[in-house]
Amino acid sequence: MNNKTIDFLGKRQWTYIISALLLLVSIGSLAIQGLKMGIDFTGGTLVEVAYQDAADLTVMRAALADEGFGDAMVQHFGSARDVLIRLKPDETVSSAELSARVVAAINKKTAEPAELRRVEFVGPQVGDELAEDGGLAMLYSMFGVLIYIAWRFEYKFALGSVAALIHDVIITLGFFSLFGLEFDLTVLAAVLAVIGYSLNDTIVVFDRIRDNFRILRQVGSEEVMNTSLNETLSRTLMTSFTTILVLIALAVLGGEIIHNFSVALLVGILIGTYSSIYVASPIVLALGITQKDLMVPVKEGTDVDDLP
């Protein structure tokens, strides 16, 4: 019992308030502003151009902004000489005319003329299907988590872990809505990765809680869970810290193509680390978990088999 140094669960009333406020702000922003969907979901035009030498994306973005394409996404594609330009849908202009305007705009500012490689139109119907499939992917993953943890541990742990995952996803999406960051397929992939990361963190804590419930039989549930949280704290913090360092480097140095992906993971892992301690475990405690729920059942007749 000497491992218990921080009373995590004793402060759960305050963490309930913090989580409730974060969820309220996130849900409010999602309801009022919604998500700024990327071209993957809204549809639009893809324009690929090539240069003999490395392209300067900063100059290209400035040139497009001057011509009214301020919301265009410009990124390297395969190499520093290939550039992919993503444009929002515009029903008043054909793809051919739009690509011609784009090439003309960037050629005004670049020393070398761009070579047009391809122009593709992504329809909004494709975007709707991607949005629906992405939402279903998150729902299926939550349902799978519920079944797995109910089988692996106990249904009260399953409810606590799913509640923590929903908490993490809503707050991550709310962050993107509140700050107007673009939500595309890479961000959706990051949200799904956050679910996996947060679940792994929560299962490590739950595994220690289960073991301690079977060892520390003379103490209350809250004390057992506090002990377990303290025993796994160093592992939780070190794993999160090293992951966050990598994500900060990716967000700052990785370029525009993975910036929002890195930000989504960064926010999700911070919230996931918090929720594995202050959301999942308090909910399991509130559901009335006890040692009896985790005792290994004794098969009938085993005591008779041991008799001489």
**Within this chain, do residues 72 and 221 fall inside the same structural domain, yes or no?**
no
**Within this chain, do residues 193 and 75 fall inside the same structural domain, yes or no?**
no
Read off the pLDDT of each residue in 137-152 and give the average, rounded to a whole number: 75
The 10s digit of each residue's pLDDT in 198-246 is 888 888 888 888 888 888 777 788 888 998 999 999 988 999 999 999 9
In a domain, 85, yes or no: yes
Q: Which of 102-111, 188-197, 203-212, 298-307 shows the lowest mean pLDDT across its residues?
A: 298-307
Opening angle at CA 303, ends 299 and 308, nearest 5: 145
Query: Strand runs (DSSP E) across 7-165, as ranges?
Result: 36-37, 44-50, 73-77, 79-87, 115-122
Residues 281/160, Cβ–Cβ less than 8 Å: yes
The 10s digit of each residue's pLDDT in 23-64 is 999 999 999 999 888 777 777 888 888 888 888 888 888 888
| Domain extent at residue 152 | 9-36+126-294
Residues paired with residue 183 on neighbouring β-strands, in sequence order: 37
Q: pLDDT grade, residue 1 (50/70/90)?
A: very low
Distance CA 203, CA 200 (A): 5
**Taking all residues of the chain, what is their mean pLDDT, rounded to a whole number?**
83
Distance CA 36, CA 184 (A): 9
User: Structural domain tally of the chain?
Assistant: 2
**Within this chain, do residues 76 and 181 fall inside the same structural domain, yes or no?**
no
**Within this chain, do residues 89 and 186 fall inside the same structural domain, yes or no?**
no
**Within this chain, do residues 116 and 191 fall inside the same structural domain, yes or no?**
no
In a domain, 300, yes or no: no
Q: pLDDT grade, residue 269 (50/70/90)?
A: very high
In a domain, 71, yes or no: yes
Over 50: is that where the pLDDT of 175 sits? yes
Distance CA 202, CA 291 (A): 19
In a domain, 190, yes or no: yes
**Within this chain, do residues 79 and 216 fall inside the same structural domain, yes or no?**
no
The 10s digit of each residue's pLDDT in 243-268 is 999 999 988 887 777 889 999 999 99
pLDDT score of 270: 94
pLDDT score of 297: 55
At 114, which CATH number? Answer: 3.30.70.3400
Of 75, 104, 122, at which residue does a domain stop?
122
In a domain, 2, yes or no: no
The 10s digit of each residue's pLDDT in 110-131 is 888 888 888 887 766 556 676 6
**Within this chain, do residues 69 and 51 fall inside the same structural domain, yes or no?**
yes
pLDDT score of 219: 79
* pTM across the whole model: 0.77
Q: Is 138 exposed, middle or buried (0-12, 13-18, 19+ CB in 10 A)?
A: middle
User: Helices (H), strands (E): how many in the chain?
Assistant: 12, 6
Q: Phi, psi (5° rounding) for residue 123?
A: -75, 155
**Within this chain, do residues 117 and 130 fall inside the same structural domain, yes or no?**
no
Q: pLDDT grade, residue 300 (50/70/90)?
A: low
**Within this chain, do residues 62 and 196 fall inside the same structural domain, yes or no?**
no
Task: Quickly tell me which residue has 């008043």 as its tokens.
Answer: 92
Q: Please give the DSSP secondary-structure letter assigned to residue 10.
A: G
3-state helix, strand, coil in the chain (%, to 5): 65, 10, 20
Do the strands 44-50 and 79-87 form a parallel or antiparallel pair, or are they unpaired?
antiparallel
